[in-house]
Structure 1
Amino acid sequence: MRILGIDPGLATTGYGVIDYHKNQFQAVQYGVIRTNSKTSMPQRLSIINANLKEVILRYEPDVMAVEELFFNTNAKTAMLVGQARGVVLLTATMEGIETYEYTPLQVKQGVAGYGRAEKKQIQLMVKTLLNLKELPKPDDAADALAIAMCHAHTGNFCNVFKV
Protein backbone atom coordinates (compact mmCIF):
# COMPACT_ATOMS: atom_id res chain seq x y z
CA MET A 1 0.00 0.00 0.00
CA ARG A 2 1.28 3.46 -0.87
CA ILE A 3 0.38 6.13 1.67
CA LEU A 4 0.70 9.89 1.31
CA GLY A 5 1.01 11.66 4.65
CA ILE A 6 0.27 15.38 4.87
CA ASP A 7 1.16 17.88 7.59
CA PRO A 8 -0.94 20.85 6.45
CA GLY A 9 0.18 24.44 6.82
CA LEU A 10 -0.19 27.66 4.90
CA ALA A 11 3.49 28.63 4.76
CA THR A 12 4.75 25.04 4.68
CA THR A 13 2.79 21.88 3.93
CA GLY A 14 4.81 18.74 4.57
CA TYR A 15 4.31 15.59 2.53
CA GLY A 16 5.69 12.09 2.87
CA VAL A 17 5.10 9.12 0.62
CA ILE A 18 5.75 5.65 1.99
CA ASP A 19 5.18 2.11 0.84
CA TYR A 20 3.89 -0.28 3.48
CA HIS A 21 3.93 -4.01 2.83
CA LYS A 22 3.99 -6.95 5.25
CA ASN A 23 4.66 -4.66 8.22
CA GLN A 24 7.67 -3.09 6.46
CA PHE A 25 8.06 0.58 5.62
CA GLN A 26 9.94 2.14 2.74
CA ALA A 27 10.28 5.87 2.19
CA VAL A 28 9.48 6.80 -1.41
CA GLN A 29 9.76 10.60 -1.22
CA TYR A 30 9.24 13.45 1.18
CA GLY A 31 9.44 17.21 1.16
CA VAL A 32 7.46 20.38 1.56
CA ILE A 33 5.24 22.72 -0.41
CA ARG A 34 6.13 26.31 0.48
CA THR A 35 4.16 29.48 -0.09
CA ASN A 36 5.37 33.05 0.27
CA SER A 37 3.70 35.23 2.90
CA LYS A 38 3.77 38.16 0.45
CA THR A 39 1.56 36.23 -1.98
CA SER A 40 -2.23 36.65 -1.75
CA MET A 41 -4.20 34.07 0.22
CA PRO A 42 -6.06 32.69 -2.82
CA GLN A 43 -2.77 32.32 -4.69
CA ARG A 44 -1.12 30.56 -1.75
CA LEU A 45 -4.00 28.09 -1.57
CA SER A 46 -3.75 27.57 -5.32
CA ILE A 47 -0.03 26.81 -4.99
CA ILE A 48 -0.76 24.17 -2.33
CA ASN A 49 -3.43 22.64 -4.58
CA ALA A 50 -1.26 22.56 -7.71
CA ASN A 51 1.80 21.15 -5.95
CA LEU A 52 -0.16 18.55 -4.01
CA LYS A 53 -1.89 17.45 -7.19
CA GLU A 54 1.54 17.04 -8.80
CA VAL A 55 2.71 14.89 -5.86
CA ILE A 56 -0.43 12.75 -6.15
CA LEU A 57 -0.04 12.29 -9.90
CA ARG A 58 3.68 11.49 -9.62
CA TYR A 59 3.53 8.99 -6.73
CA GLU A 60 0.00 7.59 -7.14
CA PRO A 61 -0.82 6.95 -3.46
CA ASP A 62 -3.59 4.52 -2.55
CA VAL A 63 -4.70 6.66 0.41
CA MET A 64 -3.86 9.94 2.06
CA ALA A 65 -3.51 10.57 5.80
CA VAL A 66 -3.81 14.13 7.09
CA GLU A 67 -3.13 15.57 10.50
CA GLU A 68 -6.22 17.07 12.10
CA LEU A 69 -6.13 20.69 13.06
CA PHE A 70 -4.70 21.22 16.51
CA PHE A 71 -6.38 24.33 17.87
CA ASN A 72 -4.03 26.34 20.00
CA THR A 73 -4.52 29.75 21.58
CA ASN A 74 -3.87 31.62 18.32
CA ALA A 75 -7.21 31.57 16.49
CA LYS A 76 -5.79 33.44 13.47
CA THR A 77 -3.11 30.80 12.91
CA ALA A 78 -5.69 28.03 13.32
CA MET A 79 -7.90 29.66 10.68
CA LEU A 80 -5.00 29.95 8.21
CA VAL A 81 -3.97 26.34 8.73
CA GLY A 82 -7.62 25.33 8.45
CA GLN A 83 -7.85 26.92 5.02
CA ALA A 84 -4.73 25.09 3.82
CA ARG A 85 -6.09 21.88 5.30
CA GLY A 86 -9.35 22.38 3.43
CA VAL A 87 -7.45 22.68 0.16
CA VAL A 88 -5.55 19.47 0.96
CA LEU A 89 -8.79 17.57 1.64
CA LEU A 90 -10.45 18.97 -1.48
CA THR A 91 -7.45 18.12 -3.67
CA ALA A 92 -7.46 14.51 -2.46
CA THR A 93 -11.20 14.22 -3.04
CA MET A 94 -10.92 15.71 -6.53
CA GLU A 95 -8.17 13.18 -7.32
CA GLY A 96 -10.28 10.28 -6.00
CA ILE A 97 -8.13 9.41 -3.00
CA GLU A 98 -9.60 8.16 0.28
CA THR A 99 -8.52 10.49 3.05
CA TYR A 100 -8.02 9.63 6.71
CA GLU A 101 -7.48 12.06 9.56
CA TYR A 102 -5.40 11.69 12.72
CA THR A 103 -4.90 13.88 15.75
CA PRO A 104 -1.34 14.73 16.83
CA LEU A 105 -1.85 12.41 19.80
CA GLN A 106 -2.84 9.53 17.50
CA VAL A 107 0.22 10.14 15.32
CA LYS A 108 2.56 10.07 18.31
CA GLN A 109 0.86 6.94 19.64
CA GLY A 110 1.00 5.24 16.24
CA VAL A 111 4.67 5.95 15.63
CA ALA A 112 6.30 6.05 19.07
CA GLY A 113 3.76 4.07 21.10
CA TYR A 114 3.31 7.05 23.45
CA GLY A 115 0.83 9.85 22.82
CA ARG A 116 2.90 12.46 24.65
CA ALA A 117 6.18 11.71 22.87
CA GLU A 118 8.42 14.67 22.11
CA LYS A 119 8.99 15.83 18.53
CA LYS A 120 12.59 14.56 18.61
CA GLN A 121 11.39 11.08 19.66
CA ILE A 122 8.98 11.00 16.72
CA GLN A 123 11.71 12.07 14.29
CA LEU A 124 14.05 9.36 15.59
CA MET A 125 11.34 6.70 15.24
CA VAL A 126 10.60 7.86 11.67
CA LYS A 127 14.31 7.68 10.84
CA THR A 128 14.65 4.24 12.42
CA LEU A 129 11.48 2.66 11.01
CA LEU A 130 12.17 3.99 7.51
CA ASN A 131 15.85 3.03 7.74
CA LEU A 132 16.96 6.55 6.77
CA LYS A 133 20.57 7.67 7.12
CA GLU A 134 19.60 10.95 8.77
CA LEU A 135 16.60 12.64 10.30
CA PRO A 136 14.18 13.76 7.59
CA LYS A 137 14.19 17.54 7.14
CA PRO A 138 12.45 19.89 7.39
CA ASP A 139 10.28 19.07 10.40
CA ASP A 140 7.07 19.34 8.36
CA ALA A 141 8.27 16.55 6.04
CA ALA A 142 9.23 14.37 9.03
CA ASP A 143 5.78 14.98 10.51
CA ALA A 144 4.14 14.01 7.21
CA LEU A 145 6.08 10.73 7.16
CA ALA A 146 4.97 10.08 10.74
CA ILE A 147 1.34 10.71 9.74
CA ALA A 148 1.65 8.21 6.88
CA MET A 149 3.21 5.65 9.24
CA CYS A 150 0.44 6.24 11.77
CA HIS A 151 -2.09 5.35 9.11
CA ALA A 152 -0.23 2.15 8.30
CA HIS A 153 -0.42 1.14 11.95
CA THR A 154 -3.91 2.31 12.78
CA GLY A 155 -5.75 2.72 9.47
CA ASN A 156 -8.65 0.49 10.46
CA PHE A 157 -9.47 2.59 13.53
CA CYS A 158 -9.99 6.08 12.14
CA ASN A 159 -12.47 8.38 10.49
CA VAL A 160 -12.49 8.24 6.73
CA PHE A 161 -13.87 10.54 4.08
CA LYS A 162 -14.73 8.25 1.21
CA VAL A 163 -14.89 9.62 -2.30
Structure 2
Amino acid sequence: MTITTATTATTATTMTSTVAAAGTWSVRRVRATAVGAAVAANTALYLAASAAGTDFLLTDPGKAEAHHLIVPEIAVFTLLFGLLGWGTMAALERFTRHARAAWSVLAAAVLVLSFVPIGLEQASAATRAALTVIHIVVAVALLPLLRRPAGR
Protein backbone atom coordinates (compact mmCIF):
# COMPACT_ATOMS: atom_id res chain seq x y z
CA MET A 1 0.00 0.00 0.00
CA THR A 2 2.88 2.36 0.74
CA ILE A 3 4.39 1.89 -2.72
CA THR A 4 1.08 2.74 -4.40
CA THR A 5 0.68 5.92 -2.34
CA ALA A 6 4.23 7.05 -3.11
CA THR A 7 3.75 6.30 -6.81
CA THR A 8 0.45 8.20 -6.87
CA ALA A 9 2.03 11.21 -5.12
CA THR A 10 4.95 11.19 -7.57
CA THR A 11 2.60 10.93 -10.54
CA ALA A 12 0.45 13.79 -9.22
CA THR A 13 3.54 15.98 -8.74
CA THR A 14 4.80 15.17 -12.23
CA MET A 15 1.38 15.92 -13.76
CA THR A 16 1.17 19.23 -11.90
CA SER A 17 4.65 20.21 -13.13
CA THR A 18 3.77 19.20 -16.69
CA VAL A 19 0.52 21.20 -16.64
CA ALA A 20 2.35 24.24 -15.21
CA ALA A 21 5.05 23.97 -17.87
CA ALA A 22 2.44 23.61 -20.62
CA GLY A 23 0.58 26.65 -19.26
CA THR A 24 3.78 28.68 -19.22
CA TRP A 25 4.57 27.63 -22.79
CA SER A 26 1.05 28.57 -23.88
CA VAL A 27 1.35 32.03 -22.32
CA ARG A 28 4.76 32.51 -23.93
CA ARG A 29 3.40 31.45 -27.29
CA VAL A 30 0.45 33.84 -27.00
CA ARG A 31 2.71 36.70 -25.94
CA ALA A 32 5.23 35.99 -28.69
CA THR A 33 2.33 35.96 -31.14
CA ALA A 34 1.17 39.32 -29.80
CA VAL A 35 4.61 40.85 -30.35
CA GLY A 36 4.87 39.28 -33.80
CA ALA A 37 1.39 40.52 -34.71
CA ALA A 38 2.33 44.05 -33.67
CA VAL A 39 5.49 43.95 -35.81
CA ALA A 40 3.64 42.49 -38.82
CA ALA A 41 0.75 44.93 -38.51
CA ASN A 42 3.01 47.97 -38.26
CA THR A 43 5.15 46.82 -41.17
CA ALA A 44 2.04 46.37 -43.30
CA LEU A 45 0.65 49.71 -42.12
CA TYR A 46 3.90 51.49 -42.99
CA LEU A 47 3.98 49.92 -46.45
CA ALA A 48 0.33 50.81 -47.10
CA ALA A 49 0.81 54.39 -45.91
CA SER A 50 3.96 54.75 -48.04
CA ALA A 51 2.08 53.40 -51.06
CA ALA A 52 -0.65 55.96 -50.38
CA GLY A 53 1.92 58.78 -50.50
CA THR A 54 2.96 59.31 -46.87
CA ASP A 55 6.59 60.44 -46.85
CA PHE A 56 7.52 59.54 -43.24
CA LEU A 57 9.92 62.48 -43.24
CA LEU A 58 10.69 63.85 -39.75
CA THR A 59 12.64 66.94 -38.77
CA ASP A 60 13.61 67.58 -35.17
CA PRO A 61 12.85 71.10 -33.99
CA GLY A 62 15.94 73.26 -34.39
CA LYS A 63 17.60 70.97 -36.94
CA ALA A 64 17.67 71.48 -40.69
CA GLU A 65 18.34 67.87 -41.67
CA ALA A 66 15.29 65.62 -42.06
CA HIS A 67 15.17 61.91 -41.28
CA HIS A 68 13.20 59.49 -43.43
CA LEU A 69 11.75 56.56 -41.46
CA ILE A 70 12.18 53.20 -43.19
CA VAL A 71 10.55 49.78 -42.73
CA PRO A 72 13.37 48.25 -40.65
CA GLU A 73 13.16 51.12 -38.16
CA ILE A 74 9.43 50.65 -37.76
CA ALA A 75 9.81 46.86 -37.37
CA VAL A 76 12.76 47.05 -34.96
CA PHE A 77 11.18 49.72 -32.73
CA THR A 78 7.90 47.80 -32.64
CA LEU A 79 9.78 44.60 -31.75
CA LEU A 80 11.86 46.41 -29.13
CA PHE A 81 8.87 47.95 -27.37
CA GLY A 82 6.86 44.74 -27.69
CA LEU A 83 9.65 42.77 -26.00
CA LEU A 84 10.03 45.48 -23.34
CA GLY A 85 6.30 45.23 -22.65
CA TRP A 86 6.52 41.45 -22.42
CA GLY A 87 9.53 41.63 -20.11
CA THR A 88 7.86 44.22 -17.91
CA MET A 89 4.75 42.05 -17.62
CA ALA A 90 6.86 39.00 -16.74
CA ALA A 91 8.74 40.98 -14.05
CA LEU A 92 5.51 42.36 -12.61
CA GLU A 93 4.01 38.85 -12.50
CA ARG A 94 7.03 37.67 -10.58
CA PHE A 95 7.04 40.45 -7.98
CA THR A 96 3.42 41.55 -7.47
CA ARG A 97 -0.04 40.06 -7.20
CA HIS A 98 -1.55 42.92 -9.22
CA ALA A 99 0.64 42.54 -12.28
CA ARG A 100 -2.13 42.83 -14.87
CA ALA A 101 -3.54 46.05 -13.40
CA ALA A 102 -0.10 47.58 -12.95
CA TRP A 103 0.93 46.60 -16.47
CA SER A 104 -2.26 48.01 -17.97
CA VAL A 105 -1.74 51.37 -16.27
CA LEU A 106 1.92 51.43 -17.27
CA ALA A 107 1.10 50.48 -20.87
CA ALA A 108 -1.56 53.19 -21.10
CA ALA A 109 0.90 55.77 -19.75
CA VAL A 110 3.56 54.70 -22.25
CA LEU A 111 1.02 54.94 -25.08
CA VAL A 112 -0.02 58.46 -24.08
CA LEU A 113 3.61 59.56 -23.67
CA SER A 114 4.51 58.07 -27.05
CA PHE A 115 2.36 60.73 -28.71
CA VAL A 116 4.56 63.56 -27.37
CA PRO A 117 7.39 63.11 -29.93
CA ILE A 118 4.83 62.96 -32.74
CA GLY A 119 3.63 66.39 -31.69
CA LEU A 120 7.15 67.77 -31.35
CA GLU A 121 8.51 66.55 -34.69
CA GLN A 122 8.05 68.65 -37.79
CA ALA A 123 6.23 66.36 -40.19
CA SER A 124 3.35 66.35 -42.64
CA ALA A 125 -0.17 65.69 -41.40
CA ALA A 126 -0.16 62.34 -43.19
CA THR A 127 3.07 61.31 -41.46
CA ARG A 128 1.75 62.35 -38.06
CA ALA A 129 -1.52 60.50 -38.64
CA ALA A 130 0.29 57.35 -39.79
CA LEU A 131 2.67 57.43 -36.81
CA THR A 132 -0.27 57.92 -34.45
CA VAL A 133 -2.00 54.89 -35.92
CA ILE A 134 1.25 52.89 -35.73
CA HIS A 135 1.53 53.67 -32.02
CA ILE A 136 -2.09 52.69 -31.42
CA VAL A 137 -1.64 49.42 -33.35
CA VAL A 138 1.10 48.36 -30.93
CA ALA A 139 -1.23 48.99 -27.99
CA VAL A 140 -4.13 47.18 -29.65
CA ALA A 141 -1.97 44.15 -30.45
CA LEU A 142 -0.19 43.93 -27.10
CA LEU A 143 -2.63 45.05 -24.42
CA PRO A 144 -5.17 42.23 -24.58
CA LEU A 145 -2.69 39.44 -25.26
CA LEU A 146 -0.01 40.40 -22.75
CA ARG A 147 -2.63 40.84 -20.04
CA ARG A 148 -3.49 37.13 -20.25
CA PRO A 149 -2.65 35.70 -16.82
CA ALA A 150 0.42 33.50 -16.62
CA GLY A 151 -1.52 30.90 -14.67
CA ARG A 152 -3.93 30.04 -17.51
The TM-score with structure 1 as length reference comes to 0.28
Q: Pick the structure with more strand per residue.
A: 1
Higher relative contact order (CA 8 A, sep 6+): 2
Task: Decide which structure has the larger Cα Rg and report it.
Answer: 2
The TM-score with structure 2 as length reference comes to 0.30
